[in-house]
Structure 1
Amino acid sequence: MAQATEWWKKSVVYQIYPKSFQDTNGDGIGDINGIIEHLDYLEKLGVDVLWLNPMYVSPQVDNGYDIANYRAIDPMFGTMEDFEKLLSEAHKHHLKIILDLVVNHTSDQHPWFKAAESSVDDPHHDYYIWKKGRNGQEPNNWGGSFGGSAWTYKESVAEYYLHLFAKEQPDLNWENPKVREEVYDLMKFWLDKGIDGFRMDVINLISKNPAYLDGAVREVEKYGDAHQMTANGPRAHEFLQEMNREVLSKYDIMTVGEMPRTSPEKAVEYTDPKRHELDMIFQFEHMGLDGGPFGKFSENRFKLSDLKQVLSKWQTELSAHGGWNSLYWSNHDQPRPVTRFGNDGKYRVESAKMLGTLLHMMQGTPYVFEGEELGMTNAKFDSINDYQDLETFNGYKELTEVHHVAPDAALRAIYAKSRDNARTPMPWNASEKAGFTTGEPWIKLNPNNDEINVEDTLKDFNSVFYFYQKLIKIRHELPVITDGVYQLVDAENPDVFSYTRTDDDDQLLVICSFADHVVDYKVPTSFRDAEVLIDNYDQIETDNLQPFESRVYKI
């Protein structure tokens, strides 16, 4: 099999949100030529793979995750020739490229859906999921991820169509073999151009339970939990094995599936090489640790004990059964990790380095989201009108109108969790428009770009960038990080997350403090004279840890 090389196990992936990376034509929107412009920067960081968020033709209702043409580049990003040049230049810089594959749903502007809604007799009608209502209402109680019902009625066919996300994102009917053939063809279109793999959007939602039963309803919500009824459906493995057989196995690529509501046991089934499905998945369990009564838009802080338990569980259970982890703190859908899990004030740099250490020394493939290597923070905007994200607007509306949360408290929740925290333009320098554009940025810049930007970071050899560069180099050089056994250490410590990685040749001890004060911590005797591979403080004191200190010992 082509995939047997498993080059992705030693790789580090850098995620680019093209809309916010670099604008070269002054329209305020990042573009493909902007990515080409910074390939030297990415090669300097040391990453191996670039994951690009969608750049296909799209009405941009959900920032490109509503696709109207899978085989064309949206003009806002450039042309197909620009993309082909990017692919060629990236490969010259020793950088592979993976694209987003969004095939649980399309845009309602896709020609398939335009045909599907025109007539029940059109062959494309069965490309989507349509149901008659019950008692003059929706077919069931499912809610869409962005608020409201997951069903919308179309008078033209007198039926409801399913959309697990926005109403402009109708779900494809994977039970129809023609849909699957269409998907496999479009995958081959991009793979034959030379891309190096796919990140598959909500790919475990493609098989719906044919009973279409009501979902559970939480007290504070009107609609039922659709993901409970659609995640890891009855034919999900069958469909992915078919995809592997028809497409993936024919190319030397990497695949990662975004999979909400997936347990380690399920993840093993998706990623066990003997099952011929995917290489790894994105799980969400650690992303849900700060949820609360209003779901993600709750003002909660995670508990370190929960974080230890969840990350350790994924480390040990996947490793024991031949699965593989993807490792991440942030992406285009999550707030900035230094704000969420660290300290974005006095100890911003220290906590950003600590979080990098904790993640990059674990077993799996690490993902760095653009700006994470700078220690970027959440963006504190003054008004809900400064945001652009559909989920954010719907969340704010629900908080204030349904749950009667005060506007200032609702805005605090938005500041903590909005997806737009990750989508502010990349700050290349301290100028008014951060070197991102000469025009008006499509979304406001993070107000602290004069303090946190690439130009200043590269001048400071103690910066988060150079620390990440070193973490990546260590991962490339030490097999124990790829293959070593994970063991949690000092599980009950309320301030420190520490673990070992062990193979036949080496043992690493990773120590990470989550405290904003000095912590008494005795390094185990066996490691006291060991080599310190990397640490985020100049001076190491054997019997205590500085605020947000991290160290990696090797024997």
Structure 2
Amino acid sequence: MERKWWQDKVAYQIYPKSFYDTNGDGIGDLPGIIEKLDYLKDLGVDIIWLSPCYRSPLADQGYDISDYYDIDPRFGTMEDMDRLIAEAKKRGMYILMDLVVNHCSDEHEWFKKACQDPDGKYGNFFYLRDKKEDELPTNWRSYFGGPVWEDLPGTNKQYLHVFHKKQPDLNWENPELREEVYKNINWWLDKGLGGFRIDAIINIKKALPMHNYEPDREDGLCYIGKMLEEATGIGEFLGEMRDRTFKPHDAFSVGEVFNAKDEELPDFIGDNGYFSSMFDFNETIFGGSEKGWYDCKEITPDDYKRCCFETQAKMGNFGFVSNIIENHDEPRGVSHYIPEGDCCNTSKKMLAALNFMLRGLPFIYQGQELGMENVPFKSIDEVDDISTLDEYKVALDAGLAPDAALKAVARRSRDNARTPMQWSDGKNAGFTTGTPWLRVNPNYTAINVEKEAQDPDSVLNFYKKLIALRKDPEYKETVVYGALEPFMEERHNLMAYYRKWDKTLLVVGNYQWDEQEIELPGACKKVLINNYPDVVIDGNKIKLHGYQVLVLELAA
């Protein structure tokens, strides 16, 4: 595998709206990110990915872009963005932006012109179909519920939107549209961006000609994924985008790719892959149900282990996957992957180490390094996220009582990750002097940066140790490039694996409160990471405390 500048880095995702507010309007902003760069540098972060801060009506929290060349005034100005890029560069850090090019906003100039002249140039920037009485062009269901077709204002046509109706899909089959996308990407890279996280990119290729599929719910619609399974040829678009934009700039790109086929993985992230890396969503999608969130299966420790190892086996040594515990679209990882009732600092640290030591690029989502948890919802009226609101309705339609429906969707709500960053135990967790756009998690008095920075045994300081190990010249080659081999894979509620290069490291996590004893394959030379004050070793035998995690260097 060819070595690249980004492979030994640590990445951090910022959700700008919830990170830090400097002007008291209750919304995080770019000056707030600049103010907190030294915090991120101290943590050990090299790459910062910003969720969208382009000009947007915020129908889907900025993933509906009305101007790709402008910053939304809620977040600041283009001068603020230029300053952020420059200040990050001074600290040896790189800024990534979100590349959202499956769709734009219905308030984008292209869409307005398509409405004015649907048969003209800009009409061909979208998927438009003639409207028929009592019949949709296809029976696909959008990701946010309901049909993917909406009337094009002022015309006798309908447009396709696989997400929100305010997010019309862009027609990638049109070379003129693709040229506009590449022009914009290069404009940002020329500004000094380090690269992009690429949103929902698999959706850019539709199965043509469009047709219906077997309905999977009583609404007569089918899951949009059925169409994507049939779509072929996306590589032509992605290869062209790579060659025209990322490659000439030696930029880092990480794809949000949910359903690439195994045999295509080298095409996606091999030496000449479409992207530098792609996220591992194997754990994220586990237990999903076409019926809706209310029918999802909860993930167990053994499921989590299996999901991680499946991805690692698929990747082999041809590419670098990006490993996550959570992001802006998921619940908090500690509330999702740790069994209910077991979530505490000890188990949070175990989960952190098991994920962080996997082969690949570690991504930390804001607040993850503090062990931030899901927020308690008392009522559906407290929910902001459009996806959660739709899933609540689906659960009610399936016959769940309101309390049961709320509980079912609350565990997976995207709002869990979007509550304001917890900086201190002061008013609004130190996030804003105004009224926060989304309520602060009430546990901020116990879980916050100020408190954890002063506690050597905190989750925050444990993350710092993990990052320091990844960057330690003595262990860096092994942690970054070493092979991953599962150890005692069949042992219940034990997740353990080797990292092998010039050294042999063993990562061992006891994924339960009951103690477990294991026999090491060789003598322990050194304990590098431990979430307990002690290690019980007797010869080659180790007795693991509840939720204990160890990173050991084994004797050669």
Taking the aligned partners of 2:294 and 2:544, their CA distance within structure 1 comes to 33
Counterpart residue identity of residue 39, structure 1:
L
Confirm or deny that 1:333 pairs with 2:334.
Answer: no
Confirm or deny that 1:458 pairs with 2:448.
Answer: no
Cα distance per residue 1:390-434 (max 9 Å; x no partner): 11111112211x212111111112220000000000011112311
CA contact (8 A) 1:184 1:243 kept: yes
**Which structure 2 residues correspond to residues 358-507 of structure 1 after superposition, within 5 A?**
358-400=354-396, 402-477=397-472, 478-503=476-501, 505-507=502-504
Structure 1 residue 308 displacement after superposition: 2.3
Helix, strand or coil at the partner of 2:411: helix
| Alpha-carbon spacing, 1:489–1:82, altered in 2? closer, same or farther (3 Å) | same
Helix, strand or coil at the partner of 2:73: coil
| Alpha-carbon spacing, 1:281–1:217, altered in 2? closer, same or farther (3 Å) | farther
Counterpart of 1:312 in structure 2 is 309
Taking the aligned partners of 1:323 and 1:221, their CA distance within structure 2 comes to 41
CA contact (8 A) 1:97 1:196 kept: yes
Counterpart residue identity of residue 116, structure 2:
S
Counterpart of 1:167 in structure 2 is 165
CA contact (8 A) 1:143 1:223 kept: yes
Structure 1 residue 312 displacement after superposition: 1.0
Confirm or deny that 1:281 pairs with 2:299.
Answer: no
Structure 1 residue 135 displacement after superposition: 6.3
Taking the aligned partners of 1:458 and 1:367, their CA distance within structure 2 comes to 20
Counterpart of 2:344 in structure 1 is 348
Helix, strand or coil at the partner of 1:41: helix
Counterpart pick for 2:14 among 8, 13, 16:
16
Of 245-254 and 538-547, deviating more is 538-547
Taking the aligned partners of 1:93 and 1:66, their CA distance within structure 2 comes to 31
Counterpart of 2:192 in structure 1 is 194
Counterpart residue identity of residue 421, structure 2:
M
Taking the aligned partners of 2:262 and 2:7, their CA distance within structure 1 comes to 18
Taking the aligned partners of 2:90 and 2:434, their CA distance within structure 1 comes to 31
Helix, strand or coil at the partner of 2:509: strand
Structure 1 residue 480 displacement after superposition: 1.1
Confirm or deny that 1:513 pairs with 2:510.
Answer: yes
Counterpart of 1:536 in structure 2 is 531
Counterpart of 2:258 in structure 1 is 260
State the identity as a percent: 39
Taking the aligned partners of 1:406 and 1:293, their CA distance within structure 2 comes to 20
RMSD after superposition:
1.8
Aligned length: 547
Counterpart residue identity of residue 543, structure 2:
N
CA contact (8 A) 2:217 2:291 kept: no
Helix, strand or coil at the partner of 1:367: strand
Taking the aligned partners of 1:273 and 1:105, their CA distance within structure 2 comes to 28
Helix, strand or coil at the partner of 1:434: helix
Taking the aligned partners of 2:416 and 2:247, their CA distance within structure 1 comes to 37
| Alpha-carbon spacing, 1:293–1:110, altered in 2? closer, same or farther (3 Å) | closer
Taking the aligned partners of 2:285 and 2:36, their CA distance within structure 1 comes to 33
Helix, strand or coil at the partner of 1:64: coil
CA contact (8 A) 2:137 2:211 kept: no
Counterpart residue identity of residue 192, structure 2:
G
Structure 1 residue 474 displacement after superposition: 1.1
Taking the aligned partners of 1:283 and 1:141, their CA distance within structure 2 comes to 30
Taking the aligned partners of 1:486 and 1:332, their CA distance within structure 2 comes to 28
| Alpha-carbon spacing, 1:4–1:124, altered in 2? closer, same or farther (3 Å) | farther
CA contact (8 A) 1:100 1:198 kept: yes
TM-score normalised to the size of structure 2? 0.95
Taking the aligned partners of 1:260 and 1:137, their CA distance within structure 2 comes to 30
Taking the aligned partners of 2:378 and 2:218, their CA distance within structure 1 comes to 27
CA contact (8 A) 2:138 2:210 kept: yes
Name stretches of at least 5 consecutive residues in structure 1 with no aligned partner. none
Of 239-248 and 229-238, deviating more is 229-238
| Alpha-carbon spacing, 1:494–1:221, altered in 2? closer, same or farther (3 Å) | farther
TM-score normalised to the size of structure 1? 0.95
Taking the aligned partners of 1:467 and 1:545, their CA distance within structure 2 comes to 18
| Alpha-carbon spacing, 1:60–1:526, altered in 2? closer, same or farther (3 Å) | same
Helix, strand or coil at the partner of 2:445: coil
Helix, strand or coil at the partner of 1:117: helix
Counterpart residue identity of residue 382, structure 1:
K
Counterpart residue identity of residue 137, structure 2:
P
Counterpart of 1:296 in structure 2 is 293
CA contact (8 A) 1:205 1:232 kept: no
